[in-house]
Chain A
């Protein structure tokens, strides 16, 4: 197990360096630069342009810029945003809990509904239940997030007035962030109704963000279960006279879970991508919107720092998934 773990961790280092090169060069490949965009229609003199270029270090060769960046990274310095002039890491840490909270709730919703629904659909293969689950999964999978989010807002917030339109908590509640997770902070604040308000604000964005992963997980669970249900050992278990619940829950599901866990791990990337749109629609103060804005403003420091931090998180999640995979499937450990 340790060797397995060690080889996985060792792989992270070259991956991280690769990501840093991609993150660094990707934004610089786009035409346009932050200084021109900063000046806008007004423009600036060539002299002042050069002065700002050298002040920001953009006049050095790219390779030198990259190694300086890497050196700063090693010291934990992710740079300073060109637009807001605040440290990138500080901005990331302020915004990330919001994204994490939303993504966590979305993946929980997707797993808690997706897995049982997938199992049910597999067990009742061909029934109306199976067909409607798979039909909805297909619709969910192809749902344009932006449209879906606005639709839910107009229905549930506009017409029915069941949920608030956007934000993380009602503006009536004001307490300084402690953990950055609104559900926890609202409880800690001790203000009456704050937790309820935080939950009600979380409902629609969670549903929207969970839609695609939910569809993927349900479909994956169903097909994995179908495969396993046809195996000899399941037939044997049934022949032994075990109750169907035990056969499905213990014998079939545990084996079917292996590809499902991989799928769930892969959904983390999907979630972060989906968070960009979901956060924009629901004015959710997370990193998705922050990254998109920075790309438009060519805020090199934020884009490369943000990409690196996000990639780091995805790599760690994948590592955890690999380890879980080892736990579920003993053959992998060796």
Chain B
């Protein structure tokens, strides 16, 4: 009761302070400071939450709560028959934010689209190197320089993207944070006044919220964009209270100092659920944690050996001990929230006896191997050391001796890529754009051997399927190919698929309309606070 009263008092005070009757402020206890406000410069979700999810829009957007792409700043688009040209028809009358540092004189148009991409693509663009060390990581990581032949302005409200090769995931790529649309007029103004770096510190976009102020490591303030093209937001002000420690975030939520928080401590979820003032939303994360064998080394080059080892792993025990319930056993290399997820596939049963027999039949005895354990916590694996110990125990049941090794994170990532690597690697992946290609080709394609394909696995049948899927534009036809590819994956077992995490989002009961983003972002469009 006391908590509720304090909270009500705080809200009342907030209402009075903001001056307008009934003004609503939503406080989000965020987990860290954004690196900056130009989303294309960075790769961290924390930065995207504070920039692309609030301030900016993209031509194409993910429908809230799903990985489906829907129109954003582009009302519609056409893809040419050869898949090489995508023509976007832009929304008319979209307003940029009017702030105390910028007053737009025109609406959003094709020039803004060109500027947003050209600054990442063209070295002669004045904003290509406007901050020291600008590397446009996602733009390059998604191979945009190779893919994009040109971006042309057809007229003020029509833009054509010309590609070097057909690429079905392109539309999903353009919904990613790096593809956020900035104001060219604002950039020109900054270039004129010589304060280029303000583009990364005082953002101006078309998004649902406009930037007001940022105090590093403390607070970010936004207010609702009054002329937002999709309608003004139900809340008036949005505040990010930066609180890095998860137990402290939790105390703040309970004390009513914030309405909603990300990344609770898994051990505390039950107590949060039982708190009357709170509710906890949950969703499977768009990720997968796996153990990748080196399929180019004996005896792991034999599918039956890999299959036998997979059957020796007790996933339920791992879910209990490592994920503390905040996880779900994985049977496929893509998470269940992703389209084309093959429900029909049956997971290898946990059966140490059968596994032992399969190993014997494969002529494997006295096997000893290394299992690599990551030194860091990731959403897809909160405690790799513990997981490795459990696997060590499981493998010893089938007569396989495991030595656990680990390196500093940067070293780990680098060394695990080696084709002649000794041992199986614990690692995982969080999806970027909700497209199955972003898992299957990036992590298991032949091109990625010696890179992100830690199993060093190149299977022609699998690779043909995913390459073909990439050139088709019909999602239905692509899904069929990906479903088939998952069957091949299960049969060949280059990885032991271990788990998908389950993400929790605790919030005050009065918060309505929050949709969890399967891509892991935190967006507040459409969120309201019940009176």
Contacts and interface: CB of A to CB of B under 8 A. Distances in A.
Given A172-B17, A283-B242, A289-B244, A43 B451 contact: yes
A285 B411 contact: no
A165 B140 CA distance: 41
Contacts of A171: 14, 25, 27, 219, 239, 241, 257
Contacts of B215: 94, 177, 285
A176 B257 CA distance: 21
A157 B135 CA distance: 43
Given A32-B409, A283-B244, A166 B252 contact: yes
A269 interface: no
A31 B407 contact: yes
A167 B35 contact: no
A154 B250 CA distance: 10
B248 interface: yes
Contacts of B14: 171-172
Given A167-B241, A172-B10, A177-B215, A153 B135 contact: no
A44 B251 contact: no
A85 B131 contact: yes
Query: How large, as a class, is the contact surface on chain B?
Result: 35 or more
A165 B133 contact: no
Contacts of A286: 217
B270 interface: no
B411 A168 contact: no
B81 interface: no
B248 A281 contact: yes
B330 interface: no
Interface in A49-105: 52, 55-56, 80, 82-86, 91, 94-95, 98
A282 B217 CA distance: 11
A204 B479 CA distance: 56
B494 interface: no
Interface in B255-302: 255, 257
B242 A86 contact: no
A245 interface: no
A68 to B, nearest CB: 14
A116 to B, nearest CB: 33
B428 interface: yes
Contact of B413 (A36, A154, A177): A36
- Chain B interface main SS type: mixed
B43 interface: yes
B88 interface: no
A264 B409 CA distance: 39
B141 A44 contact: yes
A38 interface: yes
Contacts of B252: 165-166
Contacts of B243: 166-167, 283
Contact of A290 (B217, B411, B413, B414): B217
B217 A285 contact: yes
B39 to A, nearest CB: 13
A40 interface: yes
Contacts of A167: 218-219, 241, 243, 257
A264 to B, nearest CB: 28
B452 A42 contact: yes
Nearest to B10: A172
A269 to B, nearest CB: 22
A36 B409 CA distance: 9
B2 interface: yes
Given A85-B134, A161-B6, A174-B221, A280 B244 contact: yes
A325 B134 CA distance: 50
Interface in B427-451: 427-430, 442, 451
Contacts of B131: 80, 85-86
Query: How large, as a class, is the contact surface on chain A?
Result: 35 or more
B344 interface: no
B132 interface: yes
A219 interface: no
A165 B410 contact: no
Interface string A264-285: 0000000000000000111111
Contact of B251 (A33, A80, A153): A153
A117 B414 CA distance: 56
Contacts of A36: 410, 413-414
Contacts of B411: 31-32
Contacts of A153: 248, 251
B44 to A, nearest CB: 9
B200 interface: yes
A222 interface: no
A39 interface: yes
Contact of A168 (B41, B141, B218, B245): B218
A150 interface: yes
B408 interface: yes
Given A31-B407, A165-B255, A85 B132 contact: yes
B63 interface: no
A95 B414 contact: no
A38 B35 CA distance: 12
Interface string B106-149: 00000000000000000000000001111101001100000000
A154 B137 CA distance: 41
B469 to A, nearest CB: 20
Contact of B410 (A32, A52, A172, A284): A32
A48 B408 contact: no
19 contacts: A31-B410, A36-B414, A37-B413, A39-B141, A39-B413, A40-B43, A41-B428, A83-B35, A85-B132, A150-B248, A158-B251, A166-B252, A166-B257, A167-B241, A167-B257, A172-B17, A283-B245, A283-B248, A289-B217
Top 5 A-B residue pairs of the complex, sorted by shortest distance between their CB atoms: A32-B410, A285-B217, A85-B131, A285-B218, A80-B132
Interface of B: 2-3, 6, 10, 13-14, 17, 25, 27, 35-36, 41, 43, 131-135, 137, 140-141, 197, 200-201, 213, 215-219, 221, 239, 241-245, 247-248, 251-252, 254-255, 257, 407-411, 413-414, 417, 427-430, 442, 451-452
Given A42-B141, A165-B248, A172-B14, 7 more contacts: A37-B413, A41-B427, A52-B135, A82-B133, A165-B252, A167-B241, A171-B239
